[in-house]
Amino acid sequence: MRRLLVAALVVVLSSVAGCATTGPPTDVPPTGAAETGATGPAGGGNSATVCAAAQQAGATALRTYVEEVGRMVAAIGANDSATAEAARRRAEAALTGWRATLRQQSDRAADPELKTLLSDMETEVAAMGADVDAIDESELDRLQQRLDQLCPR
Give the pTM: 0.68
Arithmetic mean of pLDDT, 126-143:
72
Is there a domain that residue 18 lies in? no
Is there a domain that residue 49 lies in? yes
Query: Each residue of 16-72: pLDDT tens digit?
Result: 444 444 444 433 333 333 322 333 444 558 889 999 999 999 889 889 988 999 999
* Of 74, 75, 70, 69, nearest in space to 88 by CA: 69
Is there a domain that residue 85 lies in? yes
Total domains present in the chain: 1
Query: Each residue of 82-129: pLDDT tens digit?
Result: 999 999 999 989 989 999 999 999 999 999 999 999 999 898 888 876
Is there a domain that residue 59 lies in? yes
Is there a domain that residue 90 lies in? yes
Report the alpha-carbon distance of residue 29 to residue 33 in Å, rounded.
6
Q: Are 122 and 106 in contact (CB under 8 A)?
A: yes
DSSP designation for 25: P
Structural domain containing residue 122: 2-7+43-150
Is there a domain that residue 34 lies in? no
Is there a domain that residue 24 lies in? no
Is there a domain that residue 79 lies in? yes
DSSP designation for 24: P
What integer pLDDT is reported at residue 145 of this predicted model? 85
CA 44 to chain CA mean position, Å:
21
